[in-house]
Amino acid sequence: MSDSTTRPHSSGDTSSFGFRDVDAKEKVRMVRGVFDSVASNYDLMNDLMSAGVHRLWKDAAAARLNPRPGEVILDVAGGTGDMARRYSKMARRAQERRGDPSDTNRDASVIVLDYNAEMILAGVDKGGEPEMSWSVGDAMALPLPDASVDAYSISFGIRNVADISVALSEARRVLKPGGRFLCLEFSRPTTGAIRKAYDAWSFNAIPAIGQWVAKDRDSYQYLVESIRRFPDQTTFKRMIEDAGFRSVTVTNMAGGVAAIHHGWAI
């Protein structure tokens, strides 16, 4: 369960690709290949791999972001648009509660940005909401001016970037003062028992499901390994703070299998 990636910070950098360290430019090519392969089965695989629980995590994350009428919301690594659809509907409901729902000047603008065109095309085919727009773009070089968005989110995608710190700095750059940052990502289970059970499921079942449904075991093996290489909750919180965010909080989901990190551009 993951969305796409970004280009590397510099040609001399290395980055993790699963359990391997590769040149950062090579990681971009390799991860793009993963998502080219999984795009058509992406949403079905998410349901199978998590028994549908990812939908509850996404609902909780969207509620935490609290989309509002008239806001510009950037959903990076937005893939097939799961989060953007939630944001659009929530902002529209808030608009209806506040007054005239026909006041289009108060419509939210939800930008789905993903590095992988195949994922964007799969999302367009799935259908969107009136507030949504689709764009192929780079989380490490966002095609937006400084201080131009009210909220930034990235869900199950930041572990695939070649340089997480650069992506976080870009998030800080495009947010307006007082803007909200939200990241939903797989994390570190908080107890040994949960970690052992989750490892058994992810390393054995998920690649097998990938082979069965998508005929692609290797891509899902990478996705499992990438989760293990991602920083734990405390380390990632510190990285967000180092990028210039304040009041950063961590909310564990399912005993730390996933976590919501939330912060403010203040």
Please tell me whether 5 is known to bind a ligand: no
Please tell me whether 114 is known to bind a ligand: yes
Question: Cβ neighbours of residue 195 under 8 Å, at least 6 residues apart?
Answer: 188, 189
Please tell me whether 138 is known to bind a ligand: yes
Please tell me whether 103 is known to bind a ligand: no
User: Reduced to 3 states, what is the DSSP secondary structure of residue 70?
Assistant: coil
For CA atoms 246, 110, 48, 210, the dihedral sign is negative
Q: Where are the beta strands (DSSP E) in 92-142?
A: 109-114, 132-136
CB atoms within 10 A of CB 48: 17
Nearest to 108 by CA among 96, 119, 120, 117: 96
Distance, in Å, from the CA atom of 59 to the CA atom of 79, rounded to the nearest integer, reads 16
Tokens 């079942």 correspond to what residue? 205
Task: Find residue 249's DSSP bridge partners.
Answer: 262
The Cβ-side half-sphere exposure at 213, using a 13 Å CA radius, reads: 20
Two tokens at 115? 């590095």
Please tell me whether 80 is known to bind a ligand: yes
The length of the chain is: 266
Q: Residues comprising the binding site for S-adenosyl-L-methionine?
A: 80, 114, 138-139, 155
Residues within the annotated binding site? 80, 114, 138-139, 155
